[in-house]
Amino acid sequence: MSLSTQVKESVQQASDNLRDAIAFAARGEHPIVINLLADMISRLESLEQMDEIMEKFSSVAGKEKI
């Protein structure tokens, strides 16, 4: 089961907002804050990539059952 469109859009918006936060944080926050924000973005992007991978696996598995 893949992520719904609403979830994908929300994840993308969250990623965009975190990128904005990094831009502002780069001007005066502690490096750990920037690191944590970047980690969150990385995890959101990996969620999207894992969804694509799982979709491919499920389509291959569906073809093998036939």
Digit-coded pLDDT (tens) for 12-66 = 999 999 999 999 999 999 999 999 999 999 999 999 889 888 888 888 777 766 5
pTM of the model: 0.77
Residue with tokens 């920037």: 34
Q: Token pair 């291959």 is at which residue? A: 60
DSSP string, 9-64: HHHHHHHHHHHHHHHHHTTTS-HHHHHHHHHHHHHHHHHHHHHHHHHHHHHHHHHH
In the predicted structure, residue 8 carries a pLDDT above the cut 70: yes
Q: pLDDT at position 39, please?
A: 97
